[in-house]
Amino acid sequence: MTLIEALDYAAVVVFAITGALAASRAQLDIVGFAFVASLTAVGGGTMRDLLLKRDAVFWVENTNYIFFAVLAAFVVFFAAHLFESRLKALMWLDAVALAVAVSAGTGVAMELDQLPQVVIIMGIATGCFGGLMRDVVCNEVPLVLKQGELYASAAFAGAFAAVIASFITPSPLAITAACAATTFVLRAGSLKFGWSLPVYKSRPPRA
């Protein structure tokens, strides 16, 4: 198993768990759990592979990804009640999934020798689109659009860190570590300490 495959598997499983937790908050049935979990798990990677015109979308080429996503959904269906706060668990698991998925997105783009700006965009897309789909389907305000949250900005910073690291070292492991650590630290800081960027505030019209 390559590093990219390992990252894709990790992102699929963790994002699937967040999707299933969102389904539990929406009180869906077991099929709904599997659907939301799978959509969340492969949404970002699918967008990445389509934009990069890879030979095959990763989960079409290897259906084990869907198997693990559905398995995670079933586990959460029977265990969701054990979480004291499903929203809190969802937020922190999503932070982990974001860090892993951004790393996978940047890694795939780098393997295909894409330009640095494309690498950054693929990292953001892979990290954000699955969670965006999950929140829209479950009628939640998407985390990526919540006021003051470091989410897309954390993904951008992580992907940018990967690009910078690639100029310093050829080691894929070091590049992945720089990307994942930057993304997770910023997202965790937003959750734990309220880190945020300034938001636009409209001004009243002049008289």
Task: Evaluate whether residue 78 is within a structural domain.
Answer: yes
206 located within any domain: no
pLDDT at residue 84, rounded to an integer:
61
pLDDT at position 205, please?
74
Q: What is the three-state SS of 59-114?
A: HHHCCHHHHHHHHHHHHHHHHHHHCCCHHHHHHHHHHHHHHHHHHHHHHHHHHCCC
pLDDT attached to residue 201? 81
Whole-angstrom CA distances from 183 to 81, 83, 112, 192 are: 29, 25, 22, 14
What would the pLDDT profile of 123-140 be if each residue is shown by its tens digit?
Answer: 999 999 999 999 999 998
Number of domains present in the structure of the chain? 1
Domain span at residue 21 reads 3-193
Query: Residues 161-175: pLDDT tens digits?
Result: 999 999 999 999 999
* pLDDT above 90: percentage of residues in the chain: 82
- pLDDT digits over 7-65, tens only? 999 999 999 999 999 999 899 999 999 999 999 999 999 999 999 999 899 999 999 99
- Specify the pTM: 0.91
Identify the CA nearest to 172 among candidates 126, 110, 112: 110
Judge whether 188 lies within some domain: yes
Q: How confident is the model at residue 147 (pLDDT cuts 50, 70, 90)?
A: confident
The model's confidence at residue 207, banded by pLDDT at 50, 70 and 90, is low
In a domain, 205, yes or no: no
Per-residue pLDDT at 35: 97
Q: How high is the pLDDT of residue 17? A: 94
pLDDT class for 90, splitting at 50, 70, 90? confident
Q: Average pLDDT over the chain, rounded to whole? A: 93
The tokens of 112 are what? 């295909």
In a domain, 207, yes or no: no
Decide which of 51 and 88 is more confident: 51
